[in-house]
A and B are shown apart, each in its own frame.
Chain A
Amino acid sequence: MSADPTAAQYRRRAVELRRLAAELLESPVLRLHDGAGTETWASPGADACRTILADDQARLLHAASELHEHAWWYEQQADALDAIAAARLAAGG
């Protein structure tokens, strides 16, 4: 448990961001291309749909990666704040 309230808040946000990232990575849209190939539909319109989907999937994966990075940064900040709080506690005690 964090001694610093800000660190605690950072850790909560990190947990939330990792949950969001996991939710994105588990999203059915990232597997929608399975079964959406030319064996299912083939036309210029279908080609356009596949292109749009691939772009969206790339953006979502990038967003998930950024969520992890933010979560890691929050955790680092929380760890630092906790370390400072612990040092202060030790010095005061």
Chain B
Amino acid sequence: MIQVTNLKKQYKEAVVLDVDKLDIPKSECFGLVGNNGAGKTTLFRIMLDLVRATHGKVEIDSRDVSKSEDWKRTTGAYLDEHMLLSYLTADEYFQTLRKIYGLSEADLHLHLGKFTEFFNDEIVGKKKYIRDLSKGNLKKVGIAAALMGDPEVVFLDEPFENLDPSSQIRLKKLILQVKEASQVTFLISSHDLTHVTEICDRIVLLEKGKIINDLRDKSAMLAKLDAYFTG
């Protein structure tokens, strides 16, 4: 589904990302962990063509992301609040996306229905601009938006951050449901090792821009990561 080859990102002399090869098959739940400055967000941004790669390329569905834009229709992402149109209300934002993705009102209704519990009555039908929402609620809007339009790939950067414990648990359930139902490939970066090892089939550990571990054995993941981060 996603191939990364010889990817390198350099700011002047400093190499912030250096990934030789990374293959993410369809319907995998791919977790990305690493300390601050490891290059998690940069990797996601390059994969989404928001930042230019210095060398190498990223392909989604065998299409180079920097050459075409077709992949955007089947890719959902929420990295930070700048991806939202902050001057709309949440309802208006979903309506706008509905038009952009060419969905019907019924599709949208069905989609948002999945989030009823997650939203906890604080998002839909509220007369409040997105810019005035709390950080947790911003994240909820962004995640619901990223999952809109039946994407094949979904990127989430730190999805558990700023969410209250109930919402974190609901989000895990939601991701697992979506994955079961429609074979979506998830790419999730997180600092929360418990959550990410629970939902992901594979975890890649980044350190200073390099992949230093690629864990696929679900039973041993948490112990190995714990050992690494304890140092």
Q: Real complex partners, A and B?
A: no
Q: Which residues of A contact B (CB under 8 A)?
A: none
Q: Which residues of B contact A (CB under 8 A)?
A: none
